[in-house]
Amino acid sequence: MLKAINALLAVLAGVGGGFALYLILNWLVERLPGRWEDRIKPYIFIGPAIVFVTIFLVYPALRTAYLSFFDDGGEEFVGMANYVDLLGESSFLNALFNNVLWLIVVPAGVVIAGLIVAVLADQLSTRGENAVKSFIFLPMAISFVGASTIWRFVYAFEPEGRAQIGLLNAVWTFFGGDPVAWVQNDAFRLNSFLLMVIMIWLQTGFAMVLLSAAIKNVPTETVEAARIDGASEVQIFFQVVVPQIWSTVITVFVTVLILTLKIFDIIYVMTGGRFNTDVIGNRFITELIKFGRDGRASAIVVMLLIAVIPVMIYQVRQFRQMEATR
Amino acid sequence: MTTTTPPLAPDTEVSEPAKPSGGKPRRGIGTIIVRVALLVMVLVWTIPTIGLLVTSGREPTVVSNSGWWSVLSSPLDFTQWTAQNYDEVLTAQGMGNAFLNSLVVTIPATVIPILVAAFAAYAFTFMKFPGRDVFFIVLVGLLVIPLQVAFIPLLQIFGEIGIVGTFPAVWLAHAAFGMPLAVYLLRNYMEGLPGEVIESAKVDGASHFVTFWRLIIPMSTPALAAYAIFQFLWVWNDLLVALIFLGPGENEVVTVNLSTLVGTLGSDWHLLTAAAFVTMIVPMIVFLSLQRYFVRGLTAGSVKG
């Protein structure tokens, strides 16, 4: 209770204080002679946001890059040693390989599942469509940790002879299979793929909403014209609809790609990186929390950062184009 | 936060409004296949969660000896149901305390970035000043930055001020990580507001501050709500930032508590399922009641092309 009151006070103080700061600064600037007021005021408005981003995001990012060339205590300059060491370790390369698998499978899986729901539900009555979409969309509210627990239960394993309480093993043994410890089974990276299912399950709703809206924006005339020309529904979909929603497909793909690149929670909860399921997002946490190796952990995030740079450039370009057409 | 969320567009809902005319195409056998396929997908997307919910209310002994679906045969056999699991999770396993902590973390971490971002978005939209475009382009670039890049130096800074493991550390971290998206969304929304209103306010002699507070903020409610829900869900569901800056212990949040329980309770499924459901209940309520705003935050510019 005391905690709740404290929190409430903190919120009030934080927000009230923040607002008061703007008020005071604004009042001060308004005392300035006209021209100076106009010159300085914009910086008062954007100032706090810029300060936040600079202190807590930009400066730390640069500092991390710097630290990645130092030893784990951050004292001795070691050049590229952290990078060389990491890239020479089979366990790290394995994590990288898993990450690549995730990046290939998850965004594609999300887009495809989202497209299937969007296209098929479009055939239903409006009420039916809305109901279906709500069910698919709901997991968007669930955390990675919560979803991992849900699926860990689906994948639960009991030795042969006991009742299987995990849904997957129950179905599997019903059809005559022997119970499988799914999460520990890394044959053909089976367990990694089962973890990817969780991510696809969570993100499909997002893809569905964007893609469905895009599909509904495709002008009916283009579809009708193709139909009159004798095109099959499949041809219409791939040759008429898909090209018109392509930019949305890309947006969804890139968004999920970025999210997947940093994936950490699911692996942390499901396996802790064991059974050949490690990824670099989880490896970073292991290095940082478990071993306290700042230098190596920094080198790992710098690699992540480098992987993101192309997307960053793409984003800025997209934004510029959008602005130009405003 | 790192998403390539497109700018806000006018109403696009999960639920589409009824179509004015024409109706949808219907074809006999195709319709059946479509329905079966959709039914299968809906089942896959709901059954795991239902299983969790059912299990969380069952007696421990029945949970470990029979699949949760066996309740379907005798749902009214009340000897199998219990609230004991929730009781134990909330008290003995610390989920009650974690729940409170999550609220304490999430509310300020949602409100602070909105306030700061709204001022910045106003300046980016309605004021002219040197450096404006450069600053904004940098923010757009920061949208996709992996926030892990900030952790190690931030831990050092917070360590020096002595706030590691306390709530202000996560408030500040979340406020900063959510800032680029907040400014971006709000600015894009404000850009679409009618310019004449602001012009006429200026002619009437209203200062920027008054225009901002009296005109722009009320007009931007949909965008503010969209971002608020986005950030609320993000912070509540976050494990990474909470784990690093608060960690397990007295101040842990629900996600950290649950991830620890998964490790320590292993296959005590009656407890794990109850704990998981406690972590999910608030975002579910927020999400279901405010879904339309959330979807507006997700959809948009991309759809326009």
- Which tokens hold the place of B216? 């722009």
A235 with A158, same domain: the answer is yes
A319 with A172, same domain: the answer is yes
Name the DSSP letter for residue A57: I
Domain with B177 in it: what CATH number? Answer: 1.10.3720.10
Tell me what pLDDT residue A54 has.
94
Q: Does residue A175 have a pLDDT over 70?
A: yes
B171 with B197, same domain: the answer is yes
B47 with B121, same domain: the answer is no
Residue keyed to tokens 């730390």 = A60
Q: Tens digits of per-residue pLDDT, A261-314?
A: 999 999 999 999 999 999 999 999 999 999 999 999 999 999 999 999 998 998
Tell me what pLDDT residue B14 has.
60
B172 with B278, same domain: the answer is yes
B137 neighbourhood in chain A, CB within 8 Å: 316, 319-320
Using CB atoms, pick whichever of A156, A214, A305 lies closest to residue B149.
A305
A29 with A161, same domain: the answer is no
Greater confidence (A30 vs A177) lies with A177
- Give A65's pLDDT tier (boundaries 50, 70, 90): very high
Name the DSSP letter for residue B58: B
B54 with B98, same domain: the answer is no
B56 with B185, same domain: the answer is no
Q: Tens digits of per-residue pLDDT, A87-132?
A: 999 999 999 999 999 999 999 999 999 999 999 998 888 899 999 9
Return d(Cα B169, Cα B190) in angstroms, integer. 31
Hey, which residues 211-270 in chain A have their CB within 8 Å of chain B?
212-214, 216-217, 220, 233, 247-248, 251-252, 254-255, 258-259, 261-262, 264-265, 268-269
B238 neighbourhood in chain A, CB within 8 Å: 143
CB contact under 8 A, B41 and A116: yes
Tell me what pLDDT residue B183 has.
93
Q: Which of A6, A32, A53 to mutate to test the interface with B (most CBs of B within 10 A)?
A: A53
B62 with B6, same domain: the answer is yes
Return d(Cα B191, Cα B170) in angstroms, integer. 31
A210 with A259, same domain: the answer is yes
- Which tokens hold the place of B98? 């974690």
A129 with A217, same domain: the answer is yes
Tell me what pLDDT residue B295 has.
78
CB contact under 8 A, B115 and A41: no
pLDDT beneath 50: ranges in chain B: 1-12, 18-23, 300-305
Q: Which residues make Cβ contacts (< 8 Å) with residue B263, sequence separation at least 6?
A: A272
DSSP A218-280: S-HHHHHHHHHTT--HHHIIIIIIHHHHHHHHHHHHHHHHHHHHT--HHHHHHTTTTTTT--H
In a domain, A60, yes or no: no
B169 with B97, same domain: the answer is yes
Tell me what pLDDT residue A1 has.
66
Name the DSSP letter for residue B15: S
Tell me what pLDDT residue B299 has.
60
B122 with B206, same domain: the answer is yes
A249 with A124, same domain: the answer is yes
* Tally of domains in chain A: 2
Tell me what pLDDT residue B10 has.
41
**φ, ψ for residue B2 (rounded to 5)?**
-130, 95
A106 with A209, same domain: the answer is yes
Tell me what pLDDT residue A115 has.
95
- Residue type present at position A99: N
B279 neighbourhood in chain A, CB within 8 Å: 143, 145-146
Of all residues in chain A, the percent with pLDDT exceeding 70 is: 99
Domain with A165 in it: what CATH number? Answer: 1.10.3720.10
User: Mapping DSSP to helix (H, G, I), strand (E, B) and coil, where does residue A75 land?
Assistant: coil
A32 with A111, same domain: the answer is no
Tell me what pLDDT residue B41 has.
96
A113 with A253, same domain: the answer is yes
CB contact under 8 A, B5 and A255: yes
Cα distances from A25 to residues A48, A98, B48, B135, B198, in angstroms, run 11, 51, 53, 21, 22
In a domain, A253, yes or no: yes
B49 with B144, same domain: the answer is no
- Output b/e per residue, A224-236; b: 16+ Cβ within 10 A: eebeeeebebeeb
Q: Which residues make Cβ contacts (< 8 Å) with residue A286, sequence separation at least 6?
A: A273
CB contact under 8 A, A302 and B302: no
CA distance A77 to chain B (A): 17
Q: Does residue A81 have a pLDDT over 90?
A: yes
B209 with B159, same domain: the answer is yes
**Domain final residue pick, B82, B103, B130:** B82
Q: Does residue A315 have a pLDDT over 90?
A: no
Q: Does residue A209 have a pLDDT over 80?
A: yes
Return d(Cα B36, Cα B31) in angstroms, integer. 9
B153 with B284, same domain: the answer is yes
Determine the structural domain holding residue B36 and report its residue range. 2-71+78-82
Tell me what pLDDT residue B302 has.
33
A218-230 average pLDDT score: 91
Name the DSSP letter for residue B267: T
**φ, ψ for residue A121 (rounded to 5)?**
-65, -25
**Domain final residue pick, B39, B56, B82:** B82
Tell me what pLDDT residue A24 has.
87
Q: Nearest-CA residue of chain B relative to A114?
A: B41
B132 neighbourhood in chain A, CB within 8 Å: 42
CA distance A265 to chain B (A): 7
Q: Is A326 on the interface with B (CB under 8 A)?
A: yes
> Angle formed by the axes of helices A81-88 and A90-121, to 10°?
70
Hey, which residues 70-109 in chain A have their CB within 8 Å of chain B?
none
Q: Is A167 on the interface with B (CB under 8 A)?
A: yes
CA distance B220 to chain A (A): 17
Q: How many CB pairs under 8 A join A and B?
A: 362
Q: How many CB atoms are located within 10 Å of the residue A241 CB?
A: 19
Determine the structural domain holding residue A26 and report its residue range. 2-50
A163 neighbourhood in chain B, CB within 8 Å: 65-67
With residue A145 as reference, give the H or E element that holds it. helix A144-154
**Domain final residue pick, B37, B58, B82:** B82
Tell me what pLDDT residue A13 has.
78
* Tally of domains in chain B: 2
Tell me what pLDDT residue B25 has.
52
Tell me what pLDDT residue A295 has.
93
B234 with B113, same domain: the answer is yes
Tell me what pLDDT residue B27 has.
54
CB contact under 8 A, A3 and B176: no
A301 neighbourhood in chain B, CB within 8 Å: 146, 148-149, 151-152
Tell me what pLDDT residue B22 has.
41
Using CB atoms, pick whichever of B38, B120, B153 lies closest to residue A46.
B120
